Amino acid sequence: METHEGEYRARGNWNELKGKMKMAYGDLTDDDLAYDEGQEDKWLGKLQQKLGKTEHEIKSWLKSL
Protein backbone atom coordinates (compact mmCIF):
# COMPACT_ATOMS: atom_id res chain seq x y z
CA MET A 1 0.00 0.00 0.00
CA GLU A 2 1.41 3.36 -0.96
CA THR A 3 0.01 5.20 2.03
CA HIS A 4 1.02 3.18 5.06
CA GLU A 5 2.12 4.20 8.51
CA GLY A 6 5.82 4.44 7.62
CA GLU A 7 5.16 7.01 4.91
CA TYR A 8 2.97 9.13 7.17
CA ARG A 9 5.35 8.81 10.10
CA ALA A 10 8.20 9.95 7.86
CA ARG A 11 6.17 13.03 7.00
CA GLY A 12 5.11 13.53 10.61
CA ASN A 13 1.43 13.02 9.82
CA TRP A 14 0.76 9.61 11.34
CA ASN A 15 -0.81 10.91 14.57
CA GLU A 16 -2.97 13.31 12.57
CA LEU A 17 -4.04 10.49 10.25
CA LYS A 18 -4.88 8.20 13.17
CA GLY A 19 -6.99 10.99 14.66
CA LYS A 20 -8.91 11.37 11.39
CA MET A 21 -9.42 7.63 11.18
CA LYS A 22 -10.78 7.54 14.75
CA MET A 23 -13.07 10.50 14.05
CA ALA A 24 -14.49 8.74 10.99
CA TYR A 25 -14.83 5.40 12.78
CA GLY A 26 -15.15 5.95 16.50
CA ASP A 27 -14.80 2.26 17.31
CA LEU A 28 -11.23 2.08 15.96
CA THR A 29 -8.70 1.56 18.75
CA ASP A 30 -4.97 2.21 18.96
CA ASP A 31 -4.51 -1.55 18.55
CA ASP A 32 -6.51 -1.45 15.30
CA LEU A 33 -4.29 1.32 14.01
CA ALA A 34 -0.98 -0.20 15.13
CA TYR A 35 1.10 -0.88 12.02
CA ASP A 36 4.07 -3.23 12.20
CA GLU A 37 6.65 -2.82 9.45
CA GLY A 38 6.22 -5.58 6.89
CA GLN A 39 2.76 -6.48 8.19
CA GLU A 40 0.73 -4.36 5.76
CA ASP A 41 -1.53 -7.21 4.64
CA LYS A 42 -2.29 -8.18 8.23
CA TRP A 43 -3.01 -4.52 9.12
CA LEU A 44 -5.30 -4.06 6.12
CA GLY A 45 -7.06 -7.32 6.93
CA LYS A 46 -7.70 -6.15 10.47
CA LEU A 47 -9.15 -2.87 9.17
CA GLN A 48 -11.25 -4.72 6.58
CA GLN A 49 -12.76 -6.94 9.25
CA LYS A 50 -13.38 -4.10 11.69
CA LEU A 51 -14.85 -1.67 9.13
CA GLY A 52 -16.57 -4.12 6.79
CA LYS A 53 -14.83 -2.55 3.78
CA THR A 54 -12.80 -4.01 0.93
CA GLU A 55 -9.05 -3.52 0.71
CA HIS A 56 -9.56 -1.18 -2.24
CA GLU A 57 -12.10 0.90 -0.28
CA ILE A 58 -9.71 1.21 2.66
CA LYS A 59 -6.75 2.19 0.47
CA SER A 60 -8.86 4.80 -1.33
CA TRP A 61 -10.14 6.14 1.98
CA LEU A 62 -6.61 6.40 3.41
CA LYS A 63 -5.41 8.29 0.33
CA SER A 64 -8.29 10.74 0.73
CA LEU A 65 -7.42 11.63 4.33
| 3 state SS of 51 | helix
For residues 25 and 51, the answer to whether their CB atoms sit within 8 Å is yes
pLDDT in tens, 2-25: 455 566 555 567 788 888 999 999
Q: If DSSP codes are grouped into helix, strand and coil, which group holds residue 7?
A: helix
pLDDT, mean over the chain? 83
In the predicted model, what is the mean pLDDT of residues 31-36?
86
What is the domain extent for residue 43? Answer: 5-64
The model's pTM: 0.73
Q: Which residues 6+ apart lie within 8 Å of 47 measured at CB? A: 32, 53, 58
DSSP H or E segment with residue 13: none
> What is the Cα gyration radius of the chain?
11
Percent of the chain with pLDDT over 70: 82
52-63 residue pLDDT tens: 999 999 989 888
If one counts the domains in the chain, the total is 1
